[in-house]
Amino acid sequence: MTPRLFRRGIPALLCAFAAVLVAAAELRAQVPAARDTVRKDSALVADPNVRADTLPDRPAADSVPADSTLPAPVFPLLPEPRETGFGPGVWVFGPVELARFHGLSMLDLLDRIPGIVVTREGSPGRPAGVAAFGGGGGRLRVFLDGWEMPGLNASSPELQRIPLVDVSAVRVFRGLGEIRVDIQTLRLTDRRPYAQIEGGEGDYATRILRGLFSRPLGQRMVATVGVDVVETGGFRRAEPFSANTGFGRLSYAFSADRALELEYRSTAVDAERSFAFNGTRATLPTEAYDRGELMLRARGRVLGDVWVDGAVGRSWQRPGGGDTITLEREAVQAYARAVADIPLGRLEGALRYRGVDDEGFAAGGAEASLRAELTPGRAISAWGEVRAGSWGGSTGVELEAAARTGAWRGVSLFGQAATGTRAIRYWRDTSEVVQNLGNVINPSIPALDTVPIVDFPDIFPTLAAVRAGAEWTRGAVQAGAAFVVHDLGGTVPYGFYFDRGTQPAAGTTVSGVEAYASVPLFWRQLRFDAHYTDFFAVPDRPYTPARFGRAALEFHGVYKDGNLEPTLRAELLGRDRAVSLDATTGALTALTEPYLIANLFVQIRVLDVRAFYRAENLLNRRTAADIPGLTLPGARSLFGVRWFFRD
């Protein structure tokens, strides 16, 4: 791991340092000359022997270029869906919210979403599954500015391998059929060069270094480069992990609403898998691979409020030396979509194609989707979506729709339903009988031989689910609750190493309630936020707790004309028993124990500098585990600073 770390970490550090130097070179103090405080002589004496006043009558011209604060020629944004909140199951983290968030990966952000369960194998960097309502693998999708980042080595993408350095907004749709994460990358707001850098250090030899620089090139282009380095030794420094990402983007704007963009990303992952299992040191295969994406996007407004968007490119994943668990895969992707933002709502249609060199978890095929969102007034809204996909020769169709009415005296009612099927692929260890060529030379050798192989069969679980509830809003107070019935014909493993080879679970029905509340306390800067989900009993679905929730007390204020912004967040998260993997047998027969974890986050912003401190598992719960025997890390902390530069 160390040679790869030096090969990739040192260049990443130099790139970040170079970005800061370039940004610093661009920063010049723009101080206008002071206006003359000496009054002109009120007695105008026309004496040729008296020299004219040498002090200027007006300030010197500003040295900032006249067009530096004009809009930058950036890659445009598509109109976003309008519905957000607990009712429609959509949560949006914009630049303001993300400015008060510091984590190692995207996984830390999704862990805050009500109803989403994260199943961790161990310390940060260890594989982690993400699901809602116990949906299992194959129901999480991640999109980067419209480009889907498929899971090439598992049924779901690995959120811990997605860097945060250039993320400016995240939209999470927690549907009944799938979780969709739409990531929006940074865009300049004007023509001034922009740079940011973040550094942090913490327990278990944890370090983060993130740097980004973006600036216009001429009148039509914008270039952006960045690095994101995350390293940790893991709990007791027995689970080392590093993910080093570098990326570059170059956009060309034909006009304010039409542009092309070329992007390249490369991530190097190293993970040594030696840790204590039930008191015994266990050594698992090393993970060391490179993953990359290369894509060309085009986007523009074609007629009124009608936008078109498309991209073509490829994703690849290549294992390094000593890695025996990563599949070498390459996928070609192309998509086209159209969005119409109309007074009554929003329409979106998309076609996606994916081709793979060697089918595994990601299969070749195509998908067509259509979504209609109607918002004719504040008192009523509705949306519906249909997705038809044919992957690896297997076809499935899913429909999902929702409606909301109100509010009357602050109360609104909502309902949601989904049905259909989809093909989900999983890993299966099997064997094949082959002819033994040695029998031709030596008849004593058996003519047939049995060899172990891996194949990727599909299952077609049916989906039938409903969700209905109400929300109440009164000023700054918000609360809501919903009842859910969720029936699946089966679930597949996440496909990560800890559950790879586990057989799909039989179909079951779960039902329960979920609720949330957000209430100001005493001062408008102090809020109490909580969400809770209860399935009444331990569901048969793997990794689905009987009940779980999170409660947080957050203080956030802005002072000194916006130059001082403190944030403090203390939270408790609890989880009840769940059916989980028995790491000794590989079967889904074990039960986890309930646990309660306390976290703390503190940040102080002064001007454009943010200093932060983050502490997890403050109570040092050493028995907390999502998989029995694979305990979560004990108490750990992370501190650092992030700052921004603009010319």
Per DSSP, the three-state class of 110 is helix
pLDDT at residue 282 in the model: 63
pLDDT at residue 444 in the model: 75
Average the pLDDT over each of 196-200, 429-433, 451-455 and give the range with the smallest value.
429-433
Interacting residues of 449 by C-beta distance below 8 A, sequence separation 6+: 433, 434, 435, 436
Question: pLDDT confidence of 65, banded at 50, 70, 90?
Answer: low
Average pLDDT over residues 429-458: 75
Identify residue 203 by its one-letter amino acid code: D
Average the pLDDT over each of 21-35, 80-94, 316-330, 623-637 and give the range with the smallest value.
21-35
Average pLDDT over residues 61-89: 78
Per DSSP, the three-state class of 92 is strand
Of 576, 508, 552, 468, nearest in space to 89 by CA: 468
90-646: which CATH number, 2.40.170.20, 3.30.70.890, 3.40.50.10800, 2.60.40.60? 2.40.170.20
pLDDT at residue 277 in the model: 54
- The percent helix, strand, coil of the chain (3-state, each to 5) is 5, 55, 35
Is beta strand 140-144 parallel, antiparallel or unpaired with respect to 448-455?
A: unpaired
**Secondary structure letter of residue 321 according to DSSP:** T
Percent of the chain with pLDDT over 90: 56
Average pLDDT over residues 328-351: 94
Are residues 195 and 20 in contact, defined by beta-carbon separation less than 8 angstroms? yes
pLDDT digits (tens, 9 = 90+) for 124-155: 888 899 999 999 999 999 999 999 998 898 99
Are residues 627 and 121 in contact, defined by beta-carbon separation less than 8 angstroms? yes
Is 46's pLDDT higher than 50? no
Question: pLDDT confidence of 67, banded at 50, 70, 90?
Answer: low
Q: In what order do the strands lie in the sheet with 147-148?
A: 90-93, 167-174, 179-185, 140-144, 147-148
Peptide bond into 407 cis (omega under 30): yes
Interacting residues of 14 by C-beta distance below 8 A, sequence separation 6+: none
Percent of the chain with pLDDT over 70: 87
Phi, psi of 362 (to 5 degrees): -95, 120
pLDDT at residue 20 in the model: 37
Query: How far apart (Å, rounded) are the C-alpha atoms in residues 387 and 371?
Result: 9
- Locus of tokens 């609104």: 412
- Locus of tokens 């339903």: 417
Average pLDDT over residues 408-420: 94
Of 583, 541, 485, 601, nearest in space to 117 by CA: 541
Is 413's pLDDT higher than 60? yes
The kind and range of the H/E element at 238 are none
Query: How far apart (Å, rounded) are the C-alpha atoms in residues 334 and 147?
Result: 9
Is 276's pLDDT higher than 70? no
pLDDT at residue 321 in the model: 81
pLDDT at residue 31 in the model: 38
Is 47's pLDDT higher than 80? no
Query: How far apart (Å, rounded) are the C-alpha atoms in residues 359 and 456?
Result: 8
Average the pLDDT over each of 5-9, 98-102, 514-518 and give the range with the smallest value.
5-9
pLDDT at residue 317 in the model: 93
Domain ranges of the chain: 90-646
Query: How far apart (Å, rounded) are the C-alpha atoms in residues 360 and 12?
Result: 32
Are residues 117 and 544 in contact, defined by beta-carbon separation less than 8 angstroms? yes
Interacting residues of 153 by C-beta distance below 8 A, sequence separation 6+: 289, 317, 326, 327, 329, 360, 361, 495
Is 372's pLDDT higher than 90? yes
Structure tokens at 239: 């689970």
Average pLDDT over residues 231-255: 90
Average pLDDT over the chain, rounded to an integer: 85
pLDDT digits (tens, 9 = 90+) for 556-614: 999 999 999 999 999 999 999 999 988 778 788 899 999 999 999 999 999 999 999 99
Q: What is the pTM of this model?
A: 0.85
Residue scoring higher pLDDT (129 or 452): 129
Is beta strand 547-556 parallel, antiparallel or unpaired with respect to 428-435?
A: unpaired
pLDDT at residue 30 in the model: 38
159: left (phi over 0), alpha (psi -120 to 50) or beta: alpha
Query: How far apart (Å, rounded) are the C-alpha atoms in residues 543 and 588?
Result: 9
Identify residue 595 by its one-letter amino acid code: Y
Are residues 176 and 416 in contact, defined by beta-carbon separation less than 8 angstroms? yes
Structure tokens at 399: 């429909």
Q: For the chain, count helices (H), then strands (E).
A: 4, 35
Chain-centroid distance, C-alpha 92: 11
Is 215's pLDDT higher than 90? yes
